[in-house]
Structure 1
Amino acid sequence: MGFHIRDMDKKDIKAVQNVARESWKSTYNGIIPMEIQETFLGSAYSDSMMHKRLEVSSLYVAEVSGEVVGFANFSTVKQGNIAELGAIYLLSEYQGEGIGTALLREGIKNLNGAQSLIADVEKENKSGLTFYKAKGFHIHSEFNDNLDGLITKMARMVLPIQ
Protein backbone atom coordinates (compact mmCIF):
# COMPACT_ATOMS: atom_id res chain seq x y z
CA MET A 1 0.00 0.00 0.00
CA GLY A 2 1.39 3.37 -0.96
CA PHE A 3 1.15 6.21 1.53
CA HIS A 4 2.57 9.70 1.79
CA ILE A 5 3.56 11.66 4.94
CA ARG A 6 3.45 15.45 4.83
CA ASP A 7 3.02 18.51 7.06
CA MET A 8 -0.57 19.10 8.08
CA ASP A 9 -2.32 22.12 6.59
CA LYS A 10 -5.46 23.99 7.71
CA LYS A 11 -7.41 22.27 4.94
CA ASP A 12 -6.77 18.94 6.71
CA ILE A 13 -8.53 19.90 9.96
CA LYS A 14 -11.85 18.13 9.24
CA ALA A 15 -10.07 14.95 8.08
CA VAL A 16 -7.82 14.94 11.18
CA GLN A 17 -10.86 15.45 13.43
CA ASN A 18 -12.47 12.44 11.73
CA VAL A 19 -9.35 10.27 12.19
CA ALA A 20 -9.19 11.25 15.89
CA ARG A 21 -12.88 10.41 16.41
CA GLU A 22 -12.75 7.08 14.55
CA SER A 23 -9.45 6.06 16.13
CA TRP A 24 -10.71 6.85 19.64
CA LYS A 25 -13.90 4.88 19.00
CA SER A 26 -12.04 1.75 17.93
CA THR A 27 -9.20 2.06 20.49
CA TYR A 28 -11.20 2.99 23.58
CA ASN A 29 -14.42 1.04 23.01
CA GLY A 30 -15.15 -0.61 26.37
CA ILE A 31 -12.40 1.40 28.10
CA ILE A 32 -13.67 5.00 27.96
CA PRO A 33 -17.45 5.60 27.80
CA MET A 34 -18.60 7.15 24.51
CA GLU A 35 -19.97 10.33 26.13
CA ILE A 36 -16.58 11.03 27.75
CA GLN A 37 -14.85 10.37 24.42
CA GLU A 38 -17.20 12.81 22.67
CA THR A 39 -16.63 15.51 25.31
CA PHE A 40 -12.85 15.12 25.15
CA LEU A 41 -12.71 15.04 21.35
CA GLY A 42 -15.08 18.00 21.05
CA SER A 43 -12.71 20.05 23.18
CA ALA A 44 -9.24 18.74 22.26
CA TYR A 45 -10.01 18.61 18.52
CA SER A 46 -12.30 21.63 18.14
CA ASP A 47 -11.63 23.88 15.15
CA SER A 48 -10.05 26.54 17.39
CA MET A 49 -7.84 23.98 19.17
CA MET A 50 -6.70 22.55 15.83
CA HIS A 51 -5.73 26.03 14.60
CA LYS A 52 -3.80 26.57 17.86
CA ARG A 53 -2.04 23.19 17.49
CA LEU A 54 -0.96 24.16 13.98
CA GLU A 55 0.60 27.35 15.39
CA VAL A 56 2.42 25.90 18.41
CA SER A 57 3.31 22.32 17.50
CA SER A 58 4.26 20.04 14.60
CA LEU A 59 1.53 18.07 12.90
CA TYR A 60 1.94 15.50 10.14
CA VAL A 61 -0.68 13.63 8.15
CA ALA A 62 -0.53 10.31 6.35
CA GLU A 63 -2.39 10.05 3.06
CA VAL A 64 -3.44 7.05 1.01
CA SER A 65 -4.78 7.90 -2.45
CA GLY A 66 -5.16 11.54 -1.37
CA GLU A 67 -7.24 10.66 1.74
CA VAL A 68 -5.95 11.48 5.24
CA VAL A 69 -5.82 8.17 7.13
CA GLY A 70 -3.65 9.17 10.10
CA PHE A 71 -1.81 11.97 11.84
CA ALA A 72 0.77 12.70 14.53
CA ASN A 73 1.18 15.73 16.79
CA PHE A 74 4.58 16.60 18.35
CA SER A 75 5.38 19.42 20.77
CA THR A 76 8.32 21.70 20.29
CA VAL A 77 11.51 20.74 22.13
CA LYS A 78 11.18 21.88 25.73
CA GLN A 79 13.53 22.51 28.63
CA GLY A 80 15.65 19.44 29.27
CA ASN A 81 15.72 18.64 25.53
CA ILE A 82 12.40 16.76 25.81
CA ALA A 83 9.58 16.70 23.27
CA GLU A 84 6.13 15.18 23.63
CA LEU A 85 4.19 13.04 21.20
CA GLY A 86 0.69 14.34 21.92
CA ALA A 87 -1.08 12.06 19.45
CA ILE A 88 -0.50 9.48 16.79
CA TYR A 89 -3.73 8.09 15.39
CA LEU A 90 -4.64 6.00 12.37
CA LEU A 91 -7.91 4.75 11.01
CA SER A 92 -8.08 1.13 12.20
CA GLU A 93 -8.06 -0.37 8.70
CA TYR A 94 -4.63 1.22 8.07
CA GLN A 95 -2.92 -0.01 11.24
CA GLY A 96 -0.10 -2.49 10.80
CA GLU A 97 0.96 -1.05 7.41
CA GLY A 98 3.98 0.95 8.61
CA ILE A 99 2.13 4.28 8.52
CA GLY A 100 2.38 4.92 12.27
CA THR A 101 6.09 4.15 12.16
CA ALA A 102 6.54 6.58 9.26
CA LEU A 103 4.64 9.32 11.13
CA LEU A 104 6.81 8.73 14.21
CA ARG A 105 10.03 8.87 12.16
CA GLU A 106 8.96 12.08 10.40
CA GLY A 107 8.28 13.81 13.71
CA ILE A 108 11.53 12.63 15.29
CA LYS A 109 13.51 13.71 12.22
CA ASN A 110 12.26 17.28 12.75
CA LEU A 111 12.81 17.46 16.54
CA ASN A 112 16.04 19.40 16.42
CA GLY A 113 17.88 19.16 19.72
CA ALA A 114 15.53 16.67 21.41
CA GLN A 115 17.21 13.97 23.45
CA SER A 116 14.03 12.17 24.42
CA LEU A 117 10.43 11.86 23.28
CA ILE A 118 7.60 11.29 25.78
CA ALA A 119 4.24 9.67 25.06
CA ASP A 120 1.47 9.15 27.63
CA VAL A 121 -0.49 5.97 26.88
CA GLU A 122 -3.67 4.67 28.52
CA LYS A 123 -2.62 1.37 30.11
CA GLU A 124 -5.58 -0.57 28.68
CA ASN A 125 -4.60 0.59 25.17
CA LYS A 126 -2.72 -2.64 24.46
CA SER A 127 -2.11 -1.87 20.77
CA GLY A 128 -0.64 1.53 21.71
CA LEU A 129 1.64 0.05 24.37
CA THR A 130 2.78 -2.67 21.95
CA PHE A 131 3.47 -0.10 19.21
CA TYR A 132 5.56 2.16 21.45
CA LYS A 133 7.53 -0.71 22.99
CA ALA A 134 8.31 -2.03 19.50
CA LYS A 135 9.69 1.41 18.57
CA GLY A 136 12.07 1.50 21.55
CA PHE A 137 9.97 3.40 24.11
CA HIS A 138 10.10 2.18 27.72
CA ILE A 139 7.72 2.86 30.59
CA HIS A 140 9.25 5.61 32.71
CA SER A 141 6.40 6.05 35.19
CA GLU A 142 2.70 5.49 35.75
CA PHE A 143 0.03 7.91 36.92
CA ASN A 144 -3.71 8.41 37.15
CA ASP A 145 -5.37 10.96 34.89
CA ASN A 146 -8.81 12.51 35.28
CA LEU A 147 -10.59 12.45 31.93
CA ASP A 148 -13.82 14.35 32.50
CA GLY A 149 -14.43 12.54 35.80
CA LEU A 150 -13.15 9.14 34.66
CA ILE A 151 -9.87 8.14 36.31
CA THR A 152 -7.64 6.47 33.72
CA LYS A 153 -4.38 4.66 34.41
CA MET A 154 -1.60 6.05 32.25
CA ALA A 155 1.91 4.95 31.36
CA ARG A 156 4.46 7.65 30.58
CA MET A 157 6.71 6.15 27.93
CA VAL A 158 10.06 7.59 26.91
CA LEU A 159 12.14 7.12 23.79
CA PRO A 160 15.81 8.19 23.94
CA ILE A 161 16.81 10.03 20.76
CA GLN A 162 20.44 9.83 19.62
Structure 2
Amino acid sequence: MSVTVRELDQNDFQAVREVAQASWHDTYDDLLPRHVQDAFLTEAYSDYNMQQRLMRGGFWVAEDDNGIIGFANFTPVDEQGDADLVAIYMHPDHIGQGVGSMLLQTGIQQLTTLRYLYVDVEKENDVGMRFYEAKGFKVVKEFDEVFAGHTLSTVRMVLELEVDEA
Protein backbone atom coordinates (compact mmCIF):
# COMPACT_ATOMS: atom_id res chain seq x y z
CA MET A 1 0.00 0.00 0.00
CA SER A 2 1.44 3.32 -1.08
CA VAL A 3 0.33 6.26 1.08
CA THR A 4 0.92 9.93 0.36
CA VAL A 5 0.56 12.73 2.91
CA ARG A 6 -0.28 16.18 1.58
CA GLU A 7 -1.99 19.39 2.59
CA LEU A 8 -5.76 19.57 2.63
CA ASP A 9 -7.46 21.14 -0.37
CA GLN A 10 -11.07 22.11 -0.95
CA ASN A 11 -11.81 18.98 -2.98
CA ASP A 12 -11.06 16.86 0.12
CA PHE A 13 -13.88 18.10 2.36
CA GLN A 14 -16.35 15.27 1.70
CA ALA A 15 -13.73 12.53 2.03
CA VAL A 16 -12.49 14.05 5.30
CA ARG A 17 -16.08 14.09 6.61
CA GLU A 18 -16.45 10.41 5.73
CA VAL A 19 -13.22 9.47 7.52
CA ALA A 20 -14.22 11.53 10.57
CA GLN A 21 -17.63 9.86 10.70
CA ALA A 22 -16.27 6.32 10.34
CA SER A 23 -13.59 7.00 12.94
CA TRP A 24 -15.96 8.60 15.44
CA HIS A 25 -18.53 5.82 15.14
CA ASP A 26 -15.83 3.18 15.56
CA THR A 27 -14.28 4.94 18.56
CA TYR A 28 -17.20 6.51 20.39
CA ASP A 29 -20.24 4.27 19.83
CA ASP A 30 -19.83 2.84 23.34
CA LEU A 31 -19.29 6.28 24.87
CA LEU A 32 -21.69 8.66 23.12
CA PRO A 33 -25.08 8.17 21.48
CA ARG A 34 -24.91 8.14 17.70
CA HIS A 35 -27.14 11.23 17.34
CA VAL A 36 -24.75 13.23 19.55
CA GLN A 37 -21.79 12.15 17.43
CA ASP A 38 -23.59 12.98 14.20
CA ALA A 39 -24.66 16.43 15.42
CA PHE A 40 -21.07 17.23 16.40
CA LEU A 41 -19.65 15.91 13.12
CA THR A 42 -22.18 17.85 11.03
CA GLU A 43 -21.12 21.09 12.68
CA ALA A 44 -17.37 20.45 13.03
CA TYR A 45 -16.96 19.28 9.43
CA SER A 46 -19.41 21.64 7.73
CA ASP A 47 -18.18 23.32 4.56
CA TYR A 48 -17.76 26.57 6.49
CA ASN A 49 -15.63 25.01 9.24
CA MET A 50 -13.61 23.01 6.73
CA GLN A 51 -12.95 26.22 4.79
CA GLN A 52 -11.74 27.86 8.01
CA ARG A 53 -9.37 24.95 8.66
CA LEU A 54 -8.09 25.15 5.09
CA MET A 55 -7.34 28.87 5.45
CA ARG A 56 -5.52 28.40 8.79
CA GLY A 57 -3.35 25.58 7.43
CA GLY A 58 -1.89 22.85 9.60
CA PHE A 59 -4.19 20.24 8.06
CA TRP A 60 -2.82 17.19 6.25
CA VAL A 61 -4.54 14.23 4.64
CA ALA A 62 -3.22 10.74 3.99
CA GLU A 63 -4.40 9.02 0.85
CA ASP A 64 -3.81 5.74 -0.89
CA ASP A 65 -4.88 4.64 -4.37
CA ASN A 66 -8.52 4.53 -3.22
CA GLY A 67 -8.66 7.99 -1.66
CA ILE A 68 -8.29 9.68 1.72
CA ILE A 69 -7.81 7.26 4.61
CA GLY A 70 -6.83 9.64 7.41
CA PHE A 71 -6.10 13.21 8.41
CA ALA A 72 -4.49 15.37 11.07
CA ASN A 73 -5.24 18.96 12.06
CA PHE A 74 -2.73 21.00 14.07
CA THR A 75 -3.42 24.48 15.46
CA PRO A 76 -0.63 26.74 16.75
CA VAL A 77 -1.51 28.09 20.19
CA ASP A 78 1.15 30.74 20.77
CA GLU A 79 4.40 32.25 19.51
CA GLN A 80 6.50 30.17 21.93
CA GLY A 81 5.99 27.01 19.87
CA ASP A 82 2.95 25.47 21.54
CA ALA A 83 0.35 23.79 19.33
CA ASP A 84 -2.70 21.58 19.70
CA LEU A 85 -3.28 18.43 17.74
CA VAL A 86 -7.01 19.04 17.43
CA ALA A 87 -7.77 16.00 15.30
CA ILE A 88 -6.01 12.93 14.01
CA TYR A 89 -8.37 10.35 12.62
CA MET A 90 -7.91 7.22 10.57
CA HIS A 91 -10.52 5.23 8.77
CA PRO A 92 -10.96 2.12 10.98
CA ASP A 93 -9.82 -0.14 8.13
CA HIS A 94 -6.41 1.56 8.18
CA ILE A 95 -5.60 1.73 11.89
CA GLY A 96 -2.28 0.12 12.79
CA GLN A 97 -0.67 0.58 9.37
CA GLY A 98 1.62 3.48 10.31
CA VAL A 99 -0.45 6.15 8.60
CA GLY A 100 -1.24 7.99 11.84
CA SER A 101 2.49 8.11 12.56
CA MET A 102 3.11 9.57 9.10
CA LEU A 103 0.51 12.28 9.70
CA LEU A 104 1.90 13.11 13.14
CA GLN A 105 5.46 13.35 11.79
CA THR A 106 4.36 15.55 8.90
CA GLY A 107 2.77 18.04 11.28
CA ILE A 108 5.79 18.05 13.56
CA GLN A 109 8.16 18.60 10.63
CA GLN A 110 6.03 21.32 9.00
CA LEU A 111 5.45 23.30 12.20
CA THR A 112 9.11 24.25 12.43
CA THR A 113 8.89 26.25 15.68
CA LEU A 114 6.96 23.54 17.51
CA ARG A 115 8.19 22.90 21.06
CA TYR A 116 5.16 21.44 22.84
CA LEU A 117 2.37 19.56 21.12
CA TYR A 118 -0.78 19.07 23.19
CA VAL A 119 -3.65 16.70 22.59
CA ASP A 120 -6.87 15.94 24.47
CA VAL A 121 -8.01 12.33 24.29
CA GLU A 122 -10.98 10.57 25.83
CA LYS A 123 -9.59 8.36 28.58
CA GLU A 124 -11.55 5.31 27.39
CA ASN A 125 -10.26 5.71 23.82
CA ASP A 126 -7.79 2.85 24.23
CA VAL A 127 -6.46 2.99 20.67
CA GLY A 128 -5.84 6.73 20.93
CA MET A 129 -4.23 6.49 24.36
CA ARG A 130 -1.86 3.72 23.21
CA PHE A 131 -0.96 5.68 20.07
CA TYR A 132 -0.04 8.85 21.96
CA GLU A 133 1.84 7.00 24.70
CA ALA A 134 3.86 5.09 22.07
CA LYS A 135 4.79 8.41 20.44
CA GLY A 136 6.13 9.81 23.71
CA PHE A 137 3.20 11.94 24.84
CA LYS A 138 2.95 12.32 28.63
CA VAL A 139 -0.19 12.92 30.67
CA VAL A 140 -0.29 16.43 32.15
CA LYS A 141 -3.83 16.37 33.59
CA GLU A 142 -7.14 14.57 33.64
CA PHE A 143 -10.52 16.24 33.81
CA ASP A 144 -14.19 15.64 33.17
CA GLU A 145 -15.91 17.62 30.45
CA VAL A 146 -19.52 17.79 29.40
CA PHE A 147 -20.04 17.07 25.72
CA ALA A 148 -23.63 17.58 24.55
CA GLY A 149 -24.94 16.61 27.97
CA HIS A 150 -22.63 13.60 28.39
CA THR A 151 -19.69 13.60 30.79
CA LEU A 152 -16.44 12.39 29.28
CA SER A 153 -13.17 11.72 31.09
CA THR A 154 -10.51 13.60 29.16
CA VAL A 155 -6.75 13.26 29.38
CA ARG A 156 -4.54 16.19 28.33
CA MET A 157 -1.19 14.98 27.02
CA VAL A 158 1.92 16.75 25.80
CA LEU A 159 4.81 15.82 23.55
CA GLU A 160 7.92 17.87 24.24
CA LEU A 161 10.00 18.32 21.11
CA GLU A 162 13.64 19.18 20.82
CA VAL A 163 14.15 22.42 18.95
CA ASP A 164 17.36 23.09 17.09
CA GLU A 165 18.61 26.38 18.47
CA ALA A 166 21.10 26.85 15.60
Asked if these proteins are the same fold (TM beyond 0.5), I'd say yes
| CA distance, structure 1, for counterparts of residue 81 and residue 62 of structure 2 | 26
| CA distance, structure 2, for counterparts of residue 94 and residue 101 of structure 1 | 12
Partner of 2:46: 46
Letter in 2 for 1:56: R
| CA distance, structure 1, for counterparts of residue 42 and residue 36 of structure 2 | 10
Matched, 1:6 2:6: yes
Partner of 2:60: 60
Residue 80 of structure 1, CA deviation: 3.7
Gaps of 5+ in 2: none
Partner of 1:149: 149
Residue 146 of structure 1, CA deviation: 1.6
Secondary structure, counterpart of 1:68 in structure 2: strand
| CA distance, structure 1, for counterparts of residue 101 and residue 150 of structure 2 | 30
Residue 57 of structure 1, CA deviation: 3.6
| CA distance, structure 2, for counterparts of residue 87 and residue 93 of structure 1 | 18
| CA distance, structure 2, for counterparts of residue 34 and residue 4 of structure 1 | 31
Gaps of 5+ in 1: none
| CA distance, structure 2, for counterparts of residue 97 and residue 145 of structure 1 | 31
Secondary structure, counterpart of 1:88 in structure 2: strand
Letter in 2 for 1:146: V
With 10-19 and 142-151 compared, the bigger mean Cα shift is at 142-151
Query: Hey, which bits of structure 1, 4+ residues long, moved more than 4 A?
Result: none
Cα deviation, 1:118-162, whole Å, max 9, x if unaligned, reads 000000100000000000001110111221111111000100011
Letter in 1 for 2:73: N
| CA distance, structure 2, for counterparts of residue 57 and residue 136 of structure 1 | 25
| CA distance, structure 1, for counterparts of residue 79 and residue 62 of structure 2 | 29
Partner of 2:82: 82
Letter in 2 for 1:16: V
* Paired residue total: 162
| CA distance, structure 2, for counterparts of residue 112 and residue 160 of structure 1 | 13
Letter in 2 for 1:7: E
Partner of 2:122: 122
| CA distance, structure 2, for counterparts of residue 145 and residue 57 of structure 1 | 27
Does the 8 Å contact 1:57/1:76 carry over to 2?
A: no
With 91-100 and 70-79 compared, the bigger mean Cα shift is at 70-79
Letter in 2 for 1:106: T
